[in-house]
Amino acid sequence: MPVFGLGTWRMGEHRERFAREADTIRAALDLGIRLLDTAEMYGEGGAEEVIGDAIRGRRDELFIVSKFYPHNASRNGVVEACERSLARMACETIDLYLLHWPGSVPLEQTFDGLRELQARGKIRDFGVSNFDQADLEEIPAADRDMLGCNQVFYNLAHREVEWDVAPWCRERGVPLMAYSPLDQASGLLRSAALAEVAARHDATPAQIALAWLLQRPDTVVIPKSAQIARIRENFAAVDLRLDADDLAALDAAFPPPAGPVRLGMR
């Protein structure tokens, strides 16, 4: 799985923007981005349709992640949801298929459906999203170590996952996939500490925030942008390396949790 991907939240919501959004995705692929993250919830399938247009003729070079609603998480429901997503993206396989957030359907049913999809070649791997430790412990024991990832709200300003979720996942070799890694709503990118580190590297605050996440163990980032210049800027974070002084300065400005804390979600 690539460590850097493009998120597609809010894409596919307006039909008149589909062509422009598909062009943005194609431009991102031309830059070298190989992971695309989407969900049946985004635009109620519209984002998957945009992806289907954008990846035509290029599917084999890509790693596609999609997510299904909790109300589609029954054994048959997850199979049917997957078939709809595949049809919208005009492809035969989803590389990583995730339960979008915990719901009321017993997880035994959900994972039965996921294993069926895997056996039929409809998905290559499966996982979860927005699961805190208590939710992770509810996953059938046989499936816990097989999770392809736990996709979570994670950035410098929101490090809740580091208390118990990240250690749980790391112990089992389960990657974290960080969505909203720049958390613009919190004012993260206006941080003086982040600007100081960025200046030392001749980089932008966004690049430093992404580089910080990329240096966390087993962590993937999926920032979303509709602007190709911003996507190019974000992608350059892959080549940045923060030193011990940088990391210490960021820890001081954005300390990890000091006790149990509920996992954030956006």
What is the per-residue pLDDT for 186?
A: 74
Report pLDDT for 146. Answer: 94
Residue 42 annotated as catalytic: yes
CA distance 141 to 197: 42
Residue carrying structure tokens 């998480």: 73
pLDDT at 27: 98
Question: How far is 218 from 175, CA to CA, in rounded Å?
Answer: 5
Closest to 179 in 3D by CA, of 120, 234, 223: 223
pLDDT at res. 264? 77
Tell me if 155 sits within 8 A of 213, measured CB to CB.
yes
The 10 Å CB-count burial string (b at 16+, else e) for 35-72 is bbbbbbebbebbbbbbbbbbbeeeeeebbbbbbbbbeb
Provide the token pair at 121. 């070649």
Which residue type occupies 193? A
Q: For domain 5-253, say whether CATH 3.20.20.100 is its number.
A: yes
Q: Which pLDDT value is given to residue 185?
A: 67
Q: Could you list the mean pLDDT of each consecutive 10-residue stretch along the chain, which spans 266 residues?
A: 97 97 98 98 98 97 98 98 98 98 98 98 98 97 95 97 97 97 87 97 98 97 96 98 98 94 80
Q: Give φ, ψ of 98 to 5 degrees.
A: -120, 140
The first and second tokens of residue 46, run together, are: 């519209």
Cα(132)–Cα(263) distance, integer angstroms: 6
pTM of the model: 0.97
| pLDDT computed for residue 5 by the predictor | 98
pLDDT attached to residue 261: 85
Cα dist from 133 to 24, 62, 98, 160, 240, whole Å:
36, 30, 16, 11, 31
Among the options 42, 97, 154, 179, which is catalytic?
A: 42
